[in-house]
């Protein structure tokens, strides 16, 4: 490790001791190590999701399922409903699988290698849990860490091509002691000071040695490559109302939004537009359309309302419209339901 590499931990850890964000899953500097369950749950929730969005979901999860044993015993449908709004629903399915594996093992694995064997734990999450929850030396690299190190070392290649060089830099800079605090300090620095736009270099504890700042254009480093265009798909969702209730179905476990409640639809997917016939023949009224962006497709979803009185043929349940917020609808169908409630025609 060079003197330059050592500078990062030497300057960053004292800064973190005085500026650490107070987050519900975190132990502050000097406290005992946090609960591995809380660290793991938060890291899974934080994948592709902001801290602000995760905080209320995390609090509700911990209140309802305060331990990994409680989560492992929870019905799948209840966990999926509680996950609604966080997106990327495969994370929730893997969360349950991992919780049940931890219970089977009798403890949380405490090494990167063993944590990697749990469903849904990749390179980043296993390193984060090992370092933060168990105090192990592990190299933790998320988007914030990538940006901080790319600027500090003036790594000019755009992502993802720069990731190998950034990871090598992170390995050199990670100290043997307080690796968890170091990882969280890097995350906090990237989230609050070394931000993607207009970094606040005057407040940065690393600014004196930061090659990106010295270049005069820190924003030029860790520039992401242009995003790949995603296809646009079209589909239909059907609002079937009767007696103050709406017909909801459970989506197939292995498809998009798998295992979640939703409105009946025409079989749209990320690969193709919807093509299935409506679940009921007769009169349908177009209420409007909603748009939603997934990681691999954009969807334009028409919302149509039924005005007849026949019984829906597919398996499902009548759900009180007044309690629709309790159904755990994913964001797409929550948007469609809001549109339908605002514009729906009187049910017969």
Q: Give the residue numbers annotated as catalytic, written as ranges.
A: 43
Reduced 3-state DSSP string for 93-116:
HHHHHHHHHHHHHCCCCCCHHHHC
Are residues 159 and 222 in contact, defined by beta-carbon separation less than 8 angstroms? yes
For residue 284, list its beta bridge partners: 306
Among candidate residues 78, 129, 96, the one with its CA nearest the CA of residue 250: 78
Task: Give helix 179-192 / helix 123-134 axis angle, nearest 10°.
Answer: 120
Integer Cα distance of 139 and 172 in angstroms: 9
CA 327 to chain centre: 20
Are residues 270 and 256 in contact, defined by beta-carbon separation less than 8 angstroms? yes
Number of alpha carbons in the 13 Å side-chain half-sphere of residue 1: 15
């Amino acid at each position: 490790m060079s003197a330059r590499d050592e500078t990062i931990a030497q300057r960053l850890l004292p800064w973190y001791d005085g500026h650490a964000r107070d987050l519900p899953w975190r132990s502050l500097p000097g406290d005992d190590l946090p609960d591995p369950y809380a660290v793991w749950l938060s890291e899974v929730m934080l994948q592709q999701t902001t801290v602000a969005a995760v905080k209320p979901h995390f609090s509700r999860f911990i209140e309802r399922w305060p331990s990994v044993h409680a989560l492992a015993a929870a019905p799948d449908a209840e966990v999926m409903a509680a996950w609604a709004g966080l997106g990327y629903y495969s994370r929730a399915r893997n969360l349950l699988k991992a919780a049940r594996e931890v219970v089977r093992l009798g403890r949380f694995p405490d090494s990167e290698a063993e944590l990697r064997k749990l469903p849904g734990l990749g390179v980043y999450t296993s390193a984060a849990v090992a370092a933060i929850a168990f105090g192990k030396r592990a190299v933790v690299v998320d988007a914030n860490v990538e940006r901080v190190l790319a600027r500090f070392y003036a790594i000019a290649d755009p992502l993802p091509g720069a990731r190998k060089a950034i990871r090598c830099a992170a390995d050199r800079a990670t100290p043997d002691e307080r690796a968890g605090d170091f990882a969280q300090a890097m995350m906090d620095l990237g989230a609050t000071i070394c931000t993607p736009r207009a970094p606040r270099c005057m407040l940065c504890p690393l600014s004196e040695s930061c090659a990106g700042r010295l270049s005069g254009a820190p924003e030029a480093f860790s520039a992401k490559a242009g995003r790949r265009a995603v296809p646009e798909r079209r589909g239909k969702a059907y609002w079937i109302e009767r007696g103050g209730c709406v017909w909801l179905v459970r989506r197939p476990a292995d498809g998009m939004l798998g295992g979640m409640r939703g409105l009946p639809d025409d079989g749209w997917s990320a690969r193709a537009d919807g093509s299935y016939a409506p679940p009921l023949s007769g009169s349908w009224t177009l209420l409007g359309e909603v748009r939603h962006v997934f990681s691999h497709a954009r969807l334009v979803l028409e919302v149509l309302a039924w005005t007849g009185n026949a019984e829906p043929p597919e398996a499902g349940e009548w759900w009180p419209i007044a309690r629709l917020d309790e159904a755990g609808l994913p964001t797409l169908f929550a948007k469609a339901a809001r549109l339908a409630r605002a514009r729906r025609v009187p049910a017969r």
